[in-house]
Structure 1
């Protein structure tokens, strides 16, 4: 007997508790009104004892840790006792009503007995021996009622009492067949769940192996790539002497591709850190306007190679946010490079801000192809690009926006986009701002113990706002 079967049986017993009480209440009420009050009261007492016994047992099984064969056997013995007790109470009720009615069709008593047997077939199939025991008690009661009428009256074969006996036999076959069907369905579901569990464990092992492999390869590539890039930078800068024009042209191409490869390696490493929950954020108070102007300056050269202009729009001054500036600059680089790549030649990309009481919004407005609402999921997926065909105009790993979303959410913010009315797309990043009273306290207590206490509170708030989609681990840790 498996722990799963015992727990499934007891879980169904608890889930169906109130449904059973409604059925019992209806049966007892009808018996009290139409037949015998004392029979109803006795049945109610026996049902109360049976239901209390089962409820206590089911609750104990639910909190059981599933360990110990001896404990499992003990629970099974108590389940057998509870099965006999509850089935006997229902049989007592059915026989009592039948005896009150005398020799007749016994519709009421047999109907409640049939309902109890069908209920057992539907909900007690988890443990076969328990189901057989319960149905055996109900079956004996089913047969006893018509047989007792025949024996008591000496009814001939032509009597309807014999027809009632034959009908009972047919109903018993129907109940047994239903029990067989529900038992087969349950066993099939259990088998499928076990197979899914095995496949899930295999998938977890494969995912872990993939993660470790990619992380190892990325680290191994970073060291020689850094050396190659450094050598190319020195050579192209003339540190090793003047280069012939044809050699310089080739080395410039190699230099650009080394930058691209380094960026790809860094993106893959960042992704692995987020998936492993090992990303570290250095959260500091930063001026919003200064940070955005720095982002424009750092990405202007790349935009100019695509003949796209980066321009600052409305930037709110003297607004401070609590962020990891290096990571936010990484997000801005992804947004500005994407806006530049997907904009037409001669277009402008405008960066501006909007201020709310609790948040700040950074907007990157381009004049590019414009993203549809249907592309929203694909934009932020891993290794995904809106145009993934072999003929796409721009390159990339498809990791930039996914990593940007993880970074922003790790800081308690959000990132999204909307299609512009006329042309292009607006990406926006919402980040929590440092409240005015917090700024005053920081200024007043700069360098003192109060500063550290306050920063600790801010860090706790931001840590509490981390997203829950990282496998139960925080997306970022605050230093």
Structure 2
């Protein structure tokens, strides 16, 4: 029992020190940010003291201020440099904060009291106003550490009370004199300052609690996301190998490698072959998505000439489009256009766009591929003549696992990940993927890529984490 009690006490002490570390860092950060503002306020106050009362006291107060600010600067740097779990450093720097607070608060209080003494036994508007300003400044900016704030305010309150009480005692002021009014007013102001301190501390504690809650939620979400990614990655890898074997066997059977297929089996074989292909595509898309979210997607960047690259991509996708009775037409592309790209990944993007364009087109329709370029970038456009996407579809097009539900658009299945992955790939190329509805029928998807000089880029392998930017800006027409 004794050991348990000691452990709990030690645990709570350590936990409190860790929280103190956070508050000390906030205090130090605020102190550094307010340096110029403090210096300006002190300078104006010391100039007023020098001009109206005593330049000697003003110079002395300024020297003490310089010492105090240097001490605080050193303390703030030590706080930012200390390790989060260094208990000895936390305690040592906290003591330095206390010393700096006493030095600064005593200097300000001494400054106000010295003016009051020079004024004589009269009302002390200037002195008490400076003390009020200093106290409010502390309440607004030094609320991070309760004991430090209370220490500073205690010194200011002592000065607040000393000034009117000193006058009352020295001249034996009657209860009806202005000196007693000044004392009662000081007490009222002190109560106001204390209440402001309570409110500021409450707001700061509430903010810290909200931040801790957000951090806990963030950790939980991160853990869930990691578990989800690991699960999908594991399942995808475990499924891909047997599915590849199944798909390969079905393809060989469909080609007649094992003999002629009976007519009664042809339909079932075709259905199985088509679904195996869809599952294979889904698994590949899931693996790509997990690599990107984990920041492990590799890109082999090199100089790519657009003209032959687009010719090859169109030729690769022509058989798929022919099955849907859609024509792919590539307009003339200048030979002088080169981009920095991973040719395999860029081909994946354009193949996805072309396959979608073919799916969404009517039989006998055309899908045209064009290139427009300026001095810095090239725009690859894929123009179809289908029903066209509306602005309401924009949030779905690039989202994960999203499919448009119109019946004429679901004649060929898909994973719902293609455009999301394509957008991430294009952004990893420092480019843009977007679309706009044509003036006539259909939709135009475009890919903007920066141009480079020919053969000036060696092959570079990079690992890129590409995040989807969902803030899309539609365009209405092309020049």
Which TM-score band (shorter chain)? 0.7 to 0.9
Query: Which residue in the other structure is 2:239 paired with?
Result: 221
RMSD: 2.5
Please say if 1:37 is aligned against 2:40.
Answer: no
| 2:313 corresponds to which of 290, 295, 303 | 295
**Secondary structure of 1:158's partner?**
coil
1:354 aligned counterpart, secondary structure:
strand
For the structure 1 residues 11 and 286, does the alpha-carbon distance in structure 2 shift closer, same or farther, using more than 3 Å as the test?
closer
Report the equivalent of 2:445: 427
Which sits farther off after the overlay, 417-426 or 333-342? 417-426
The within-5 A match list for 1:154-193 is 154-193=172-211
What whole-Å deviation, never above 9, does each CA across 1:187-220 have from its counterpart, x for those lacking one? 1211221222222122222111111100111111
CA deviation string 1:226-272 (max 9, x = no partner): 12212221222222222332321121122111111111111111111
Q: Tell me whether 213-222 or 48-57 shows the greater mean CA deviation.
A: 48-57
- Look up the SS of the partner of 1:220 in the other structure: helix
Is the Cα–Cα contact under 8 Å of residues 306 and 335 in structure 2 kept in the other structure? yes
How does 1:194-213 map onto structure 2 within 5 Å? 194-213=212-231
Contact kept, 8 Å, 2:78 with 2:93, in 1: the verdict is no
2:458 match: secondary structure: helix
- Cα gap change, 1:125/1:319 in structure 2, threshold over 3 Å: closer, same or farther? closer
The change in CA–CA distance for 1:275 and 1:31 in structure 2 (over 3 A counts) is same
Choose from 260, 263, 275 the match for 1:245. 263
Name the counterpart of 1:330. 348
1:295: how far off? 2.0
Aligned-partner Cα distance in 2 for 1:61–1:187: 21
Alignment of 1:388-467 (within 5 A): 393=410, 395-433=413-451, 435-436=453-454, 438=455, 455=458, 459=460
Deviations along 1:260-301, one digit per CA (max 9) or x if unpaired, are: 111111111111122222223344555432322222222223
Tell me the alpha carbon deviations over residues 76-132 of structure 1, each in whole angstroms, 9 at most, x when there is no partner. 111111111110011111111111222222111111101111111222222111111
Shifted more, 278-287 versus 389-398: the winner is: 389-398
Q: Counterpart of 1:475?
A: none
| Cα offset, 1:137, TM superposition | 0.7
Distance of 1:413 and 1:350 partners within structure 2 = 21
2:295·2:466 contact (CA, 8 Å) conserved in 1?
no
From 158, 161, 171, give the equivalent of 1:153. Answer: 171
- Unmatched runs of 5 consecutive residues or more in structure 2: 1-16, 469-479
**Pair 1:168–1:210, CA change in 2 (3 A):** same
Q: Structure 1 pair 391/161, CA: closer, same or farther in 2 (3 Å)?
A: farther
Tell me if the contact between 1:316 and 1:354 (Cα under 8 Å) persists in the aligned partners: no
What 5-or-longer segments of structure 1 have no aligned partner? Answer: 440-453, 471-479
Partner of 1:256: 274
> Residue 103 in 1 paired to residue 121 in 2?
yes
Give the match for residue 135 of structure 1.
153
Q: Partners in 2 of 1:331 and 1:211 — Cα distance?
A: 23
TM-score, with length taken from structure 1: 0.86
- Matched position secondary structure for 1:241: coil
Alpha carbons 1:229, 1:259 under 8 Å: kept:
yes
Report the Cα offset of residue 375 of structure 1: 4.9
2:168–2:180 CA contact under 8 A, matched in 1? yes
Say if 1:210 and 1:388 are closer, same or farther in 2 by CA, change over 3 A. farther
Could you tell me which residue of structure 2 aligns to residue 450 of structure 1? none
2:46 corresponds in structure 1 to: 28
Q: 2 CA distance for matches of 1:235 and 1:408?
A: 38
Q: Deviations over 1:49-95 (max 9, x none)?
A: 21121122112222223342111111111111111111001111111
* Closer/same/farther in 2, CA of residues 391 and 109 from structure 1, 3 Å limit: farther
Please report how far the alpha carbon of residue 364 of structure 1 lies from its aligned counterpart in structure 2 after TM superposition: 0.8
Give the total of aligned pairs: 449
Contact 1:229 1:255 in 2 (8 A): yes
